[in-house]
């Protein structure tokens, strides 16, 4: 009798566990969109009772985990081309647009006042410019008192889509950078200290006087950091704000046939902020049922999450792009 009761208890426990699992999906990857995904997941659970567990581990980790089928969806700021998607048996679509800002911590220099040309940014991260009062920085900042202090560069320590987009921008801005460092999720940095995730870089910049680092704009806003004024691809100075992010984002050239592969940095236009990037969701081609749960979450976010995007400093996808993504879902996830 005791054995029979124990068996019933085990079956019941397993059933309860399965019921809870059916209401939960797990994702992991990019730290770039993490604040937004947390907000979306909170609202989604409140309205639907369904849970989305997201771990901010970097784009490299997200690609690895979805490739090994450890999670239900992966997230990456580096889009995968069609060949790599086919090899890993993955679908891909964009979720939101964000921007990478050059955050700095120099006492006495306010947000949106320090001008750094794109080539100067590349030279700082390449270790060619090492002092805040370097002549190349001073040339664009005649009204600012620049300290005679060493620049402390802060970069990512993990494989990162933010790094991929940032180094793509640097490669397009500087021949020296392109020839010696190139574009990648992880590179051999010439100088600096590393932080894990956008969170780690933001915290190091905040805590380290005379530091400079690259982070997603949401982390700049959250930590009340200062960001440099940069140049557009057309050579015009632009501040890091929603209007200028949108000006760049409108040039996105996504297609369903190419699995939405596109880079958004260094777009044309006098007001296009130079380091805008989309972040992407990766789904396994064979997991139809869990994929339906994942796209239910992102469909909810596309319908109800634009206010969260704006609140946190992201740019919602255009409605035409959302329509294209839903068509992509209908074709590929049945």
* DSSP states of 114-154: -B--HHHHHHHHTTS--BTT-HHHHTT-TTS---S-B-EEE
pLDDT at 1: 42
Which stretches of the chain score pLDDT less than 70? 1-22
Are the beta carbons of 315 and 245 closer than 8 angstroms?
yes
* Per-residue DSSP letter, 316: P
| Distance, C-alpha 234 to centroid of its chain | 24
pLDDT at 18: 37
C-alpha count within 13 angstroms, C-beta hemisphere, residue 178: 9
CB-based contacts of 221: which residues, under 8 Å, 6+ apart?
312, 313
DSSP lists the bridge partners of residue 213 as 103, 154
* Per-residue DSSP letter, 229: B
Helix (H) or strand (E) holding 26: strand 24-29
pLDDT at 203: 98
| Distance, C-alpha 224 to centroid of its chain | 19
pLDDT at 333: 87
């Amino acid at each position: 009798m005791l054995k029979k009761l124990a068996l019933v208890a085990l079956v019941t426990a397993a059933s309860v566990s399965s019921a809870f699992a059916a209401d939960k999906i797990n994702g992991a990857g990019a730290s770039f969109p993490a604040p937004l995904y947390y907000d979306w997941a909170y609202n989604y659970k409140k309205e639907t009772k369904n849970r989305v567990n997201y771990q901010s581990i970097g784009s490299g980790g997200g690609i690895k985990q979805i490739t090994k089928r450890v999670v239900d969806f992966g997230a990456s700021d580096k889009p995968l081309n069609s060949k790599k998607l086919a090899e890993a048996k993955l679908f891909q679509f964009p979720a939101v647009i964000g921007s990478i800002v050059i955050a700095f911590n120099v006492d006495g220099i306010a947000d949106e006042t320090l001008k750094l040309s794109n080539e100067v940014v590349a030279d700082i991260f390449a270790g060619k410019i090492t002092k805040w009062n370097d002549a190349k920085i001073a040339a664009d900042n005649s009204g600012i008192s620049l300290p005679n202090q060493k620049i402390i560069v802060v970069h990512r320590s993990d494989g990162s889509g933010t790094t991929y987009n940032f180094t793509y921008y640097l490669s397009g801005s500087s021949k020296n950078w392109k020839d010696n460092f190139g574009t990648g999720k992880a590179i051999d940095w010439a100088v600096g200290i590393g932080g894990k995730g956008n969170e780690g870089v933001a915290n190091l910049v905040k805590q380290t006087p005379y530091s400079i680092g690259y982070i997603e704009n949401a982390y700049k806003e959250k930590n009340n950091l200062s960001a440099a004024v940069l140049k557009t691809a057309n050579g015009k100075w632009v501040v890091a704000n929603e209007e200028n992010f949108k000006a760049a984002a409108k040039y996105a050239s996504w297609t369903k046939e190419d699995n939405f592969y596109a880079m958004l940095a260094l777009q044309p236009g006098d007001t296009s902020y130079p380091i805008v990037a989309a972040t992407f969701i990766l789904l396994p081609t064979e997991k139809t049922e869990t994929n339906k749960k994942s796209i239910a979450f992102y469909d909810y976010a596309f319908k109800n999450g634009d206010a969260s995007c704006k609140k946190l400093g992201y740019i919602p996808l255009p409605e035409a792009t959302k329509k294209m993504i839903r068509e992509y879902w209908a074709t590929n996830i049945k």
